[in-house]
Amino acid sequence: VQVIVLNANMRCQECRERVSKVLSKMDNLLDYVVDVIQGKVTVRGSVDPKKKMKRMLSQKEGKNK
């Protein structure tokens, strides 16, 4: 089990909801915390941070463009 903390450029509750929606669909996650105020996403589980988490964040950022 890994704990991964990522910086995320989130500005609002809608950002939090989008990130949470993507995370809720990911396999092998035990839990996650999306903190808009600190701009961080913390996940715990068996994940490949280089592939899945970066893809998740790029999907979220694409919504803001």
The CA angle 35-30-49, to the nearest 5 degrees, is 70
Q: 29: which strand partners?
A: 45
pTM over 0.75: no
User: Which pLDDT value is given to residue 59?
Assistant: 62
Average pLDDT, the chain: 81
Q: Per residue in 23-54, pLDDT tens?
A: 888 888 899 999 999 999 999 998 776 666 66
Q: Which domains are seen in the chain, by residue range?
A: 2-49 (3.30.70.100)
Predicted confidence at residue 8, as pLDDT, reads 84
